[in-house]
Amino acid sequence: MMNRGLGIVLTVAVAGLVPSMALAHGDEHLHVLPERNDDAATRAVSWQDVDGWRISPPEQPLHGGTRVSAIFSVGDSRAVTLETRGLLADGSGSCIEDTAGPWMPMEETFARGEVRIAVLDLGDRFACAQIRLRGSDDAIVEELQWELLVPRYPDAGTRSREMAAVGQPSLTSIGPELVRIGVKTRDDWGARPTQCTAVEDNWYRMAIHHTAGPTTAGGTVAGRIASTQAYAMDSGGWCDIPYQMMVGYDGSLWEGRGLILRSGATGGGNNDGNLAVSFVGCFHSPDSACVGGQGHPVGDAMMFHAQLMIQTLVRLYDIPSNSESIRGHQDWPGNSTACPGSLLHPRLGELRADLAWFSGEETARSWGDDPIDVPVGGAHELWIELENTGGLTWEPGATFLAPTNPRDVDSPLHNASWHSPIRAATVQSAVGPGEVGRFVFDVSPSTNEQIVQAFGLVDEGVTWFADAPWGGGPSDDVAVVSVVGSGESPGSGDDGGGGEDPVDPDAPVDPNDPNDPSGSGGDSGGAPVEGGLPPGYGEEDLGGCSCSMPASPLSFGAGWLLLLLTRRRARPRCSRVRG
Ligand SMILES: [Zn+2]
């Protein structure tokens, strides 16, 4: 009986009604998950009751198959018995009930959360297959997708499970740039070791997909990615999850197959150099069938992080970010698919829009264009606010406003309030994308000369905001301050004078006081200094100023007033604000 049936299948194939198996799968196989979905509602209508079992109608793929694979969700932790059998077809292509082989239990190969995968090799090639559930299990099985297929990678599932069982790691291809933007590696979702061998070393285009299924398994995106990989390999259709990178519905970013192995995601002969990014979920419009119900709305967090990852990949591989090079799956020639769904497809332009890691736009500042008079050795507080228009968060102690003419050289305007002589200020707290951060800093001239200081932004150890590819502006002169030091140097308020203070060569010197060669030592106790007050001192206008005190144990409250009264060198960092 079995042999006669097989003969029928082969006759059909020879007659040219069935294309060759070689074309049936592999690169041209577009969907990881089976398109057939016998969910609970479908089963209630179309499945039969026979002797305590619920039996499906036959599945009859164009090319027949040797393996039955199913992915299904179960409402509780009970074991579910799923069985299958092959059927043959007659010359007209109809499945013949009385050619069915025996029912055989399918082997469960994966379980995570509510998701189970079960597989069985039928031992021969059949034109059709059926599956059945025990009647008592039917009530707890919700989604049930299954298919009869010819596995292109028949051993991928078995081998990957064996390798995972002995603790063989799943190697990551994710470099520091992708780690920096939060991409989680294969280990983070519990990937099995790959069974792919074809490598890719020239990504020059990109294809956007969706998984056309639920967003999570066991409540996590990681679980859903793991179940997608498990189905791809256990069905034998793929050597690994076909997509290079994945985007979670919550905006989480994940390594899929990775960036070393050739893509297996896009049909029409379009896998060469075509980096596949897949959104985990189903983004068909609500009136289209989606596994697990209606399509998922496209969320802002998902889109923003996807754009950040895509724009990072664009920079890493020099992929043009335009509609020629970055397309939806359906836009690549030779692909008859609605992927990535009618909700996501119209928004691909947002993913192509440029997004640097670090960029900002000024929103406000405390000073104008005119030079600012600041007493030599004194200080004047300024601030500037910028909106974070980049993809990454500005962090205190990492993101700085810094002097830039030149970069990384001590500014003549720095004082002890700066993070360092080359870093003026950082943000007070984390500033996420779209938020506004304020940088507050002193300018403190040490000479009478006019000093024009430009400032830009830098994320320490990563990039200057002005520098491509990771910076997106502003330029190194987003903030320019012109400061005129007024008066003679009164010495630093921090240390009561010292070697940095200019010495007036005409000032009388007390040869008996080695600590005070200029006769203007710091501990003057309020006594008038010979030669009178420094020029400009009496002109100070404490009203209407933005004032702060030099670093001092008494820098708060009445302490600074005491200092002002008793130590002329410890003047408040204050001057008229002009302009
Ligand atoms: Zn696709």
Distance 119 CA to ligand 1 centre (A): 24
Mean per-residue pLDDT for 155-172? 94
Please determine, for residue 554, whether its predicted confidence score (pLDDT) is greater than 80: no
Distance 30 CA to ligand 1 centre (A): 6
| Max mean pLDDT range (293-297, 474-478, 565-569) | 474-478
Distance 368 CA to ligand 1 centre (A): 54
Distance 51 CA to ligand 1 centre (A): 41
Distance 60 CA to ligand 1 centre (A): 23
User: Which of 42-46, 156-160, 331-335, 489-493 is least confident?
Assistant: 489-493
Distance 127 CA to ligand 1 centre (A): 27
Please determine, for residue 128, whether its predicted confidence score (pLDDT) is greater than 50: yes
Would you state the pLDDT for residue 29?
Answer: 52
At residue 513 the predicted structure's pLDDT band, cuts being 50, 70 and 90, is very low
Please determine, for residue 240, whether its predicted confidence score (pLDDT) is greater than 90: yes
Please determine, for residue 552, whether its predicted confidence score (pLDDT) is greater than 80: no
Distance 315 CA to ligand 1 centre (A): 23
CA–CA dist 97, 413 (Å, integer): 90
Mean per-residue pLDDT for 363-374? 96
Please determine, for residue 146, whether its predicted confidence score (pLDDT) is greater than 90: yes
Reduced to 3 states, what is the DSSP secondary structure of residue 11?
helix
Would you state the pLDDT for residue 170?
Answer: 85
| Max mean pLDDT range (66-80, 291-305, 493-507) | 66-80
Residue with tokens 């600012």: 372
What sign does the dihedral 149-223-248-183 (CA atoms) show? negative
% of the chain surpassing 90 pLDDT = 70
CB 323 within 8 A of CB 271: no
Residues, CB-to-ion distance under 5 Å, ligand 1: 209, 329, 339
Would you state the pLDDT for residue 307?
Answer: 98
Would you state the pLDDT for residue 542?
Answer: 32
Distance 72 CA to ligand 1 centre (A): 21
More confident of the two residues 313 and 571: 313
Distance 438 CA to ligand 1 centre (A): 44
| pTM for the whole structure | 0.79
Mean per-residue pLDDT for 144-148? 95
Mean per-residue pLDDT for 198-210? 97
Distance 336 CA to ligand 1 centre (A): 10
User: Which of 234-248, 405-419, 475-489 is least confident?
Assistant: 475-489
Distance 274 CA to ligand 1 centre (A): 12
Would you state the pLDDT for residue 293?
Answer: 60
Please determine, for residue 547, whether its predicted confidence score (pLDDT) is greater than 90: no
Would you state the pLDDT for residue 165?
Answer: 95
Would you state the pLDDT for residue 287?
Answer: 65
Q: What does the pLDDT look like over 282-296, one tens digit per residue?
A: 998 876 666 666 678
Strands (E), 31-114: 48-50, 53-55, 65-74, 82-89, 95-96, 104-105, 107-112
CB 96 within 8 A of CB 167: no
Q: What is the DSSP string of 514-540?
A: TT-TTS--S--TTPPPTT-SPTTGGG-
CB 89 within 8 A of CB 9: yes
Q: How far is CA 550 from the centre of its chain?
A: 42
% of the chain surpassing 70 pLDDT = 78
Would you state the pLDDT for residue 36?
Answer: 85
Would you state the pLDDT for residue 99?
Answer: 86
Distance 344 CA to ligand 1 centre (A): 12
Distance 64 CA to ligand 1 centre (A): 23
Q: What does the pLDDT look like over 306-344, one tens digit per residue?
A: 999 999 999 999 999 999 999 999 999 999 888 999 999
Distance 297 CA to ligand 1 centre (A): 18
CA-closest candidate to residue 29, choices 328, 277, 284, 269: 269
Distance 340 CA to ligand 1 centre (A): 6
> Mean pLDDT of all residues in the chain?
82
Distance 469 CA to ligand 1 centre (A): 29
